[in-house]
Chains A and B, each alone.
Chain A
């Protein structure tokens, strides 16, 4: 009896958890997609699969799925160096995206972390704000 209750509770909890996750992703998605289309798509491509040797994919990369601070820093600063990404190098430059607001960056990063087959937690405007304060 007790066990059954516990199971049921656990089940409900998971469902609630899933539901919560779904709603946050959904909330961020439309705006994130718009920003992605306008500012990232031409290089990283509609499905986030990139351009071999030129622009990296945004699918399951250590930057996209990894540490939030590292990801936010990267996108704010861009690069003109040839930086190795998961064992590959890419010839193109990535322009800094620091002209985007904290809100815009949070939604586009949440969008890439929850699309193209990626599953990673959302990024908030507060996260971006905190990192931006440390990036010169």
Chain B
């Protein structure tokens, strides 16, 4: 009996698929103006991902090399910022069929980078030193890919933590992360026992979030303001419309054991410090490099570079994290979910794409997943949980070089689907809720 029903539904599925495919083919010319169909089918194996019950995943595309951050337009086109330009551009626009699968892909923009966002009819994208914007037409397409407006220029790129992630508020401002070109502001970067510089000179021009005008060309340091400081490196950030404030995910420092083995063993060094989510307001200081947050003691701890021993506290003037995750998971994407497709629990909650660790060695690596934190009235209302897992491709692939996929960027589609980019395997995933 059971078997029979299953077979029947399988046939129904195939028949439906055939119909949608034919429709997509026939309608190719007209799809540009029609909104994406509400019904997309998850891949048979959920594209290899492990998801909560009721959710499904499909692979929209698997060939967008170095896919960093992503956005989805009102019409369902996907813009992907890529880390390099080797494959014919630094931004790719993906047009998908009614089945949610890639139909065409076009590249433009001759700069690699990470940040991408849409606001008030413009597509914003960043290189590792500049931010550009492109006017969108009525179909949500970049009208003139060759001639963007340069909004921000001359930002620091000293190799380490060079990506410039961006977010926009509703008052005409753009926020740009400028990462520290250092691990912990040691006199000699990553050198055993080297002490911290006092004061840390990096904080003047990096290790923070800078605020600029979203519509003014050619701004640089002098035109913007240092909005928040003491943030080592932020890759994932989002403007929260409930609180009307910026939330960021910090990549915490590493090497506690390698650099100060007298205070930390390899296990502590793998677990500490926490990867922190902060809500940042103008003028806030998160404390890097002087302190780090220890999620086990639940305290701000003085960094060993500045006289700490793993126990002494510090940073009385530094803000506390909103959520503290295990160390080194590398949060590369943050998105507050405002869609209507997912169950009520997910509304206004935070999705975080964890790229996966490298600096937990010799302990096993961790991450390579998308996490979720429920929010109520702008504050976490429960513990963080794993939402999408198995990007690496199995336990034996949980390492940066072996992982098949590493989640990086997050975006919400017009129908409330969640999109996830992967800068290792070049895949774009789409998560849908199927219900029950």
Spell out A's residues near B (CB within 8 Å): 37, 41-43, 45-47, 49-55, 57, 80-82, 91-93, 95-96, 99
Contact = CB atoms under 8 A, between A and B. Distances in A.
Contacts of A96: 191
B362 interface: yes
Given A41-B361, A54-B358, A93-B189, A49 B159 contact: no
Given A42-B359, A46-B361, A54-B358, A92 B402 contact: no
B82 to A, nearest CB: 12
A99 B358 contact: no
Nearest to A48: B401
Instruction: In the A-B complex, list the 5 residue pairs whose CB atoms are closest, starting with the nearest.
Output: A49-B401, A51-B358, A51-B400, A95-B191, A82-B159
A55 B358 contact: yes
Interface residues of B, number: 21
B424 interface: yes
A52 B400 contact: yes
B190 A52 contact: no
B192 A99 contact: yes
Interface in B239-276: 255, 258
Nearest to B399: A45
Interface in B344-380: 358-359, 361-362
Interface of B: 83, 159-162, 188-192, 255, 258, 358-359, 361-362, 399-402, 424
Contact of A53 (B83, B258, B359): B83
Nearest to B157: A82
A50 B189 contact: no
21 contacts: A41-B361, A41-B362, A42-B258, A42-B361, A45-B361, A45-B400, A46-B362, A47-B401, A49-B402, A51-B358, A52-B400, A53-B83, A57-B401, A82-B159, A91-B159, A91-B160, A93-B159, A93-B160, A93-B190, A95-B188, A95-B190
A92 B361 contact: no
A93 B161 CA distance: 11
A43 B255 CA distance: 10
Contacts of B362: 37, 41-42, 46
Nearest to B424: A52
